[in-house]
């Protein structure tokens, strides 16, 4: 967490910054665990100052701020990072500021409670080398059934942990993998090699449906309340979860009890009746 819907919400929340000019980029003094900001602040500032934001994109679970210099500022929120345009939840965990002029947004802030995220500056060549299709799979909002089958069809892994492989498909994390498999009617323990053509198609349709729906609701703010959109407001997709974190509650489709198992040290939630293993 955050996963694709949360990061896409962050990206959309700062879209108005396109066309603005960068005045400054500053690492904010913080007594908490330092985050990785590279290159060093002085060099970072020198490269971006005076540049214009030409586009706002996303690479899997990362927000990408493209500049007219062909450099890209890549913000990776990891577990507890937020991209904001208003005052953050706390000042103590504010890590980085991009000051702007010439548009409706004066600054883009990066806040991170646990300090696991990072802010990095790449040239276009470096960006393509780091985030090209050899390193990062097709985006989950755009992936096709053929893509899924090509990238995962020969894997002997179970389908649930396989969906978390960012080299296979970019953007899906633990929460949405459980939701997607429930909608697709696929058991999380099913081996990729045992998936049928119909199941790959169902998986693709469910991936697009769940993630697009989650984006419309601006992502999921879980029990710890950490995730917020760019205006420091909660998402609401947590109210639409079908199985995630709902062990022993009724399946919304068939009313059977939702089950919880552990796969690769992560919780998986599913309905044994709607998602049969055979």
Q: Give start and end residues of each alpha helix (H) in 87-164.
A: 124-131, 145-152, 159-163
Q: Report the C-alpha gap between 152 and 168 in whole angstroms.
A: 7
Catalytic residue among 27, 47, 58, 61: 61
Residue 59 β-bridge partners: 62
Looking at 32, 78, 97, 266, which residue is catalytic? 266
Q: Is the peptide bond before 194 cis (omega within 30 degrees of 0)?
A: no
Catalytic pick among 3, 6, 8, 218: 3
CA 124/CA 149 separation, integer angstroms: 30
Specify whether 61 is catalytic.
Answer: yes
Q: Tell me the CB-side half-sphere exposure of residue 44, using CA atoms within 13 A.
A: 20
Bridge partner list, 111: 82, 94
- The SS3 call for residue 121 is strand
Q: How many CA atoms lie within 13 A of 80 on its CB side?
A: 18
Per-position b or e across 24-48, b if 16+ CB within 10 A of its CB:
ebebeebeeeebebeeeeeebbebb
Closest alpha carbon to 37 in 104, 99, 112: 112
Long-range contacts, 147-155 (Cβ 8 Å, 24+)? 148/200, 148/203, 148/204, 149/195, 149/197, 149/200, 152/192, 152/195, 153/192, 153/193, 153/195, 153/200, 154/192, 154/193, 155/192, 155/193
The yes-or-no answer on residue 2 being catalytic is yes
Positions marked catalytic: 2-3, 61, 266
């Amino acid at each position: 967490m955050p996963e694709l819907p949360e990061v896409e919400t962050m990206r959309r929340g700062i879209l108005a910054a396109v066309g603005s000019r960068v005045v400054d980029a500053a690492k904010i003094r913080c007594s908490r665990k330092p985050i990785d900001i590279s290159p060093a602040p002085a060099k970072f500032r020198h490269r971006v100052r005076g540049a214009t934001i030409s586009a706002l994109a996303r690479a899997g679970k990362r927000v990408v701020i493209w500049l007219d210099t062909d450099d890209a500022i890549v913000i990776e929120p990891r577990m507890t990072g937020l991209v904001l345009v208003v005052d953050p939840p706390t000042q103590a965990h504010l890590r980085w500021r991009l000051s702007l002029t010439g548009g409706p947004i004066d600054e883009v802030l990066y806040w991170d409670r646990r300090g696991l995220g990072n802010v990095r500056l790449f040239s276009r060549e470096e960006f393509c080398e780091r985030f090209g299709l050899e390193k990062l799979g097709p985006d989950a909002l755009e992936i096709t059934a053929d893509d899924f089958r090509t990238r995962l069809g020969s894997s002997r892994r179970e389908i649930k942990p396989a969906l978390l492989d960012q080299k296979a498909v970019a953007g899906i994390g633990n929460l949405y993998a459980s939701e997607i498999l429930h909608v697709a009617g696929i058991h999380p323990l099913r081996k990729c090699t045992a998936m049928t053509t119909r199941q790959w198609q169902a998986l693709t349709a469910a991936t697009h449906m769940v993630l697009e729906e989650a984006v419309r609701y601006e992502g999921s703010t879980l029990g710890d309340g950490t995730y917020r959109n760019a205006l420091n407001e909660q998402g609401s997709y947590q109210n639409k979860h079908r199985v995630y974190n709902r062990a022993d509650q009724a399946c919304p489709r068939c009313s059977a009890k939702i089950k919880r198992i552990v796969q690769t040290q992560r919780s998986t939630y599913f309905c044994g009746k709607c998602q049969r293993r055979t």
